[in-house]
Structure 1
C-alpha cells in the first residue's frame, strides 16, 4: 500500500491499491504554491486514508478547488476538486518506491518561461 507524509511527519497518508499514473501540472497556481510544476496522482477518495488531519490546513484557491497543506511544516499534499470523486496527492510526498511513472503534462500553455519540458510525454495545453 503506497504511503507518504509531509516533511515533518505530522500528516501521514496511505492509498489502497496501486497509484494511477501521475501528471505534471504547469499552471501558475501550482507553480506558485509548489515553487515549480507539481506532480500528483488522482486517487479515489475512498482509497485515501489520512492521519493527522487536525494538522491539515485547507486553502480555497477557487470556487471548486481547495489545496491541503501541513500547518506545521507547510508541505503541500493535496489538490482537492471538492465536488469530484477523486483527490490529487503530491507524488513528492510518497515514500519510495511508488511504482508510478509520469504519464502527461497538463496546463503547459501556462508553464514557466524558465524551463523546457524535455521528455516525449503528451502535453495538454489546458
Structure 2
C-alpha cells in the first residue's frame, strides 16, 4: 500500500496497485508549479483513493493538475480523457519501492542543473 498526503494533511491519497511510469518531469509547467523537477508515478483512477478538497486546475486542454487549496501542495496530474492519475512521489509517506524509469520534457529543463543519473531522457 502506498499512502501520501499534502503538507498540511488536508488531502490524503492511497493505492494498493503497483504504480507505473515513474518519471521526473522537466517541463516549464511542472517547474513553475512545483518549484523544480516533478517526480510522479501513475495508477488507474479506479485504484487511487483521494480524500480531501483537491483543487483541480486545467493548465491546458490536455491536462489538469491537482493541488491542495490550503497549503498549495502540487499532488496530481491527469491527462484529459485518460483513466489514470499521476501522483507526486515526493508526497508519499515512507518509501515508494519505485525507481525513476525516465526523464520527460528534458528539452525545456532549467539551465541550472544537469541530468546525470543515466536514466533515459525524452525531449
TM-score range, shorter chain: over 0.9
1:85 equivalent among 53, 59, 83 = 83
Q: Which residue of 2 aligns with 1:64?
A: 62
Q: Which residue of 1 aligns with 2:35?
A: 35
Q: Which residue of 1 aligns with 2:5?
A: 5
Q: 2 CA distance for matches of 1:107 and 1:21?
A: 14
1:107 equivalent among 105, 108, 118 = 105
Q: 1 CA distance for matches of 2:11 and 2:56?
A: 13
Contact 1:21 1:101 (C-alpha < 8 Å) held by counterparts: no
Q: CA RMSD in A?
A: 0.9
For structure 1, list consecutive stretches of 5 or more residues without a partner in the other structure: none
How far residue 21 of structure 1 moved from its aligned partner, in angstroms, is 4.3
1:75-106 Cα distance to aligned partner (Å, 9 max, x none): 00001113111111000011111101111100
- When the two structures are superposed, what TM-score results if normalisation uses the length of structure 2? 0.96
Structure having the larger proportion of residues in strand: 2
Q: Which residue of 2 aligns with 1:50?
A: 50
Q: Which residue of 1 aligns with 2:26?
A: 26
Following TM superposition, the consecutive aligned residue runs of length 4 or more in structure 1 with deviations greater than 6 angstroms are none
How far residue 16 of structure 1 moved from its aligned partner, in angstroms, is 2.0
For structure 2, list consecutive stretches of 5 or more residues without a partner in the other structure: none
How far residue 6 of structure 1 moved from its aligned partner, in angstroms, is 0.3
Aligned residue pairs total 123
